[in-house]
Amino acid sequence: MSSPALAIVTGASSGIGAAFASALAARGHRVLAVARRADRLDELARAAPPDAVVALPLDLTAAGAVDAVVRRARELGPVDLLVSAAGRGAHGRGWEIPRSTTAQVLALNVTAGVDLVTALLPDMVARGRGGLVVVTSAGGFYPSPYLAAYGASKAFLLSYAEALSAELRGTGVRVMALCPGPVSTEFGEIAGMADLMEGAPGTMRPEEVAASALRAFAAGRTVHVPGAVTAVMSGVLARLPRAATRRVAERLFRR
C-alpha cells in the first residue's frame, strides 16, 4: 500500500496556512505543518485524521530552520506539494516602523520562503512531479502605502512564482501564486491594522481561500485571485495609471 502524498505547509498555526493544512489532511495528504506556535500545531494535529498532521514547531527565520524542514520532510517521504504561507506585515509609515520589524517581515516573507522553495525543487524536478503554492497577496499587483515592505515582498513573490512557473514548464512540477484580498485572520491585529481590515469589502474566511486555491491549482492556474470582489478590485487597480493607483491605495491603507 502506497504512503499518502506528503505536503509541507508553512505558517500552519493560523489563518490561511492552518486552513490549507486541514484541507489537505482531510483530502488524504500527510501534512508537515511548520510554524512557531507548538500549541497551535498540536491543536491542528488533534483535529485532523489520525497521523495526518506532523507538527514541526520552529521559526523559519532562525539559523538552520529551512534545513531542519528539509531533513524532517525527507524522513517522511518525497514532497509532493509545498504551500508557502508563512508571512507577516507591519502597518505604518515606512521610516517609522522599527528597522528590526521591517527586517523580520522581509526575512520571513521573502528570504525564508525562497530558501525553502529552492531547497525542495531539485528533488521535485528529479522525480518529475510536484507542486508549489506560493501565498502572495492581491497587494502584489499594486503599491501598498503604509504597508510598503509587506506589499513589496508580495510583489516579489508574485513575480518569483510566475518566473518559476515558466522555468519549470515541461518538468512535471507546477507553481501557482495565490493572491487573496482581505481574509479574516490574525494578520490585521499582528500588523497593527485590525481596525482598517474590519468589514473590508470581499473579506473571505481562510477555509474559503484554501478551498478556492486547491481547485485553481488542480485546474492548472498559475495566478489565482480568490473571490469575485477582490478579483474585480485588483483588476481595476492594476489597470489604472500608476499615479492613480498609488492615490487609491494610499486612501485604502491610511489610518
Instruction: Report the amino acid identity of residue 44.
Output: L
Contact 182, 160 (CB under 8 A): no
Sheet holding 223-224, edge to edge: 53-57, 30-35, 6-10, 79-84, 130-135, 173-178, 223-224
Cα gap 32→44, rounded to integer Å: 11
- List the catalytic residue out of 142, 146, 150, 160: 150
DSSP string covering 25-50, please? HHTT-EEEEEES-HHHHHHHHHHSST
Three cell numbers at 237?
487597480
- The yes-or-no answer on residue 150 being catalytic is yes
Catalytic residues: 150
